[in-house]
């Protein structure tokens, strides 16, 4: 391949790579700006700050400059929360100076966002729901996949196609009837509604089945001769040999439940049971003008998944790549 061609390829990839990450960069940089700075729209990415300081020898106060005359200025005096405490004060020009800070990171946005919205609670709910669903998914899938892959029984094909056809039906189709069903069960507004329906995952069953079928038959024969029970085989042979596929399924399951939105939005009304995504969407409605706080909350809502992604990047991408391949 010629050098020029490869330079062009890299250039295209870099330019479009930037379009992929710019929303994230902008999200983080906006989350570190003060609201007034964001509104001024002077710098796009690097938070900087400009303000006037009134220093009369005794105390230093931040002020808003209203009018500048020859040797006096009219200012609004601000307190530490940047609220106006004194309006139209006349002070000598020599005592007012312009302060430029660049970059200036407003990390307190994160603390403010945390104080405004109970994100700690939302994190707890999300982790609780994700982990319990994951445990359920692993148990039901290991058992069902083992039955499908290594056991002969009447109706196996029937159940297989039943599961397969259920997998094809997307969530919006059964969302309303699920709501009615959970209402009849009195599970609306409980953790049950968020966890129990998601403790079986058909895709994971098929993923495990595929893997279990590929395990050598001799292993099972040998174990069977040694008097190993079925549970013993599952526990001592299948699971140790399936660690990669189990971790793949776990990552899928965790990312999916962490990001799931429509289901918890509909099933949960009580604020104390809100998961992170739903909490964030409510904050989006309430705080549409508080851009930097909204961006701070968005940032820390995706940080856990991004951390997981950075550490297990190769494996996650390889796992998703496999979803497109058919056997």
Partner 1 sequence: MKTKWKITPYLFLLPALIIIVAFRLIPIVMSFILSFFDWSLQGTGKFIGLTNYATMIKDPVFWQSMGNTFWLVVILVPATIVLSLFFAVLLNKIKYFKSMFRMVYFMPFVTSLVAVSIVWKLMFNEQTGLINTFLGYVGIAPQAWLAEYRGIFVLMFPQLESLPRFFHGPSQALFAIIIMTVWKGLGYNTIIYLAGLQNISKTYYEAAEVDGAGKLRQFWNITVPLISPTTFYVLIMTTITSFQTFSQVYLMTNKGGPLNTTKLIVYYIYERGFDLLEMGYASAVALALFIIILMLTIFQRKMEKHVNY
**108 forms part of the interface with partner 1 (CB under 8 A):** no
Which C-beta is closer to partner 1: that of 73 or that of 201? 201
Element containing residue 124 per DSSP (H, E): helix 119-150
Annotate 79-108 with DSSP letters as a single string: -TTS-EEEEEEEEEGGGEEEEEESS---TH
In Å, how far are 5, 22, 53, 113, 322 from 104, measured between CA atoms?
A: 41, 20, 16, 18, 44
User: Tokens representing 54?
Assistant: 């009134």
Binder of partner 1 out of 211, 258, 273, 296 (CB under 8 A): 258
**153 forms part of the interface with partner 1 (CB under 8 A):** yes
Nearest approach in angstroms of CB 65 to partner 1 is 23
Residues 58-87 touching partner 1, rule: CB under 8 A, are: none
Which C-beta is closer to partner 1: that of 91 or that of 233? 233
CA distance 28 to 299: 6
Q: Which stretch binds partner 1 (CB under 8 A): 60-68, 72-80, 105-113, 168-176?
A: 168-176
Which C-beta is closer to partner 1: that of 28 or that of 77? 28
- Whether residue 220 contacts residue 233, with contact meaning beta carbons closer than 8 Å, is answered with yes
The three-state (H, E, C) secondary structure of 260-286, written as one string: CCHHHHHHCCCHHHCCHHHHHHHHHHH
CA distance 202 to 159: 11
Nearest approach in angstroms of CB 40 to partner 1 is 9
Would you report the helix, strand and coil content of the chain in percent, each value rounded to 5? 65, 10, 25
Residues 283-322 touching partner 1, rule: CB under 8 A, are: 284, 291, 294-295, 298-299, 301-302, 305-306, 309-310, 313-314, 316-317, 320-322
Binder of partner 1 out of 65, 196, 228, 233 (CB under 8 A): 196
Nearest approach in angstroms of CB 173 to partner 1 is 5
Residues 208-247 touching partner 1, rule: CB under 8 A, are: 230
Residues 28-57 touching partner 1, rule: CB under 8 A, are: 30, 38-39, 41, 44
Which C-beta is closer to partner 1: that of 83 or that of 153? 153
Question: N- to C-terminal Cα distance for the chain?
Answer: 34
Nearest approach in angstroms of CB 43 to partner 1 is 11
Only one residue has tokens 């079925």, namely 230
**175 forms part of the interface with partner 1 (CB under 8 A):** yes
Nearest approach in angstroms of CB 246 to partner 1 is 16
């Amino acid at each position: 391949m010629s050098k020029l061609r490869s330079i062009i390829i890299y250039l295209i990839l870099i330019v479009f790579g930037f379009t992929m990450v710019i929303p994230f960069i902008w999200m983080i940089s906006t989350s570190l700006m003060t609201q007034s700075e964001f509104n001024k729209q002077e710098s796009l990415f690097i938070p900087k700050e400009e303000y006037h300081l009134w220093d009369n020898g005794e105390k230093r106060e931040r002020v808003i400059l209203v009018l500048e005359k020859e040797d006096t200025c009219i200012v609004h005096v601000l307190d530490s929360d940047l609220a106006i405490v004194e309006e139209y004060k006349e002070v000598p020009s020599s005592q007012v100076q312009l302060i430029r800070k660049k970059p200036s990171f407003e990390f307190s946005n994160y603390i403010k966002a945390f104080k405004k919205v109970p994100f700690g609670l939302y994190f707890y709910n999300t982790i609780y729901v994700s982990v319990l669903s994951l445990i359920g998914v692993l148990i039901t899938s290991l058992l069902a996949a083992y039955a499908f892959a290594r056991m002969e029984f009447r109706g196996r094909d029937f159940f297989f196609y039943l599961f397969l056809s259920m997998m094809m039906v997307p969530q919006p189709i059964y969302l309303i009837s699920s709501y009615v069903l959970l209402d009849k069960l009195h599970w609306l507004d409980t953790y049950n509604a968020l966890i129990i329906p998601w403790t079986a995952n058909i895709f994971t069953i098929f993923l495990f089945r595929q893997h279990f079928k590929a395990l050598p038959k001799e292993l099972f024969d040998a174990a069977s001769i040694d008097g190993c029970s079925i549970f013993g085989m599952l526990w001592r042979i299948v699971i140790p040999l399936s660690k990669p596929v189990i971790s793949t399924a776990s990552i899928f399951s965790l990312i999916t439940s962490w990001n799931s939105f429509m289901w918890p939005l509909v099933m949960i009304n009580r604020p104390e049971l809100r998961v992170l995504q739903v909490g964030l969407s409510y904050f989006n409605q309430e705080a549409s003008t508080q851009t930097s706080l909204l961006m701070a909350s968005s940032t820390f809502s995706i940080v856990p998944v991004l951390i997981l992604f950075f550490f297990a990047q190769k494996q996650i991408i390889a796992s998703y790549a496999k979803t497109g391949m058919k056997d």
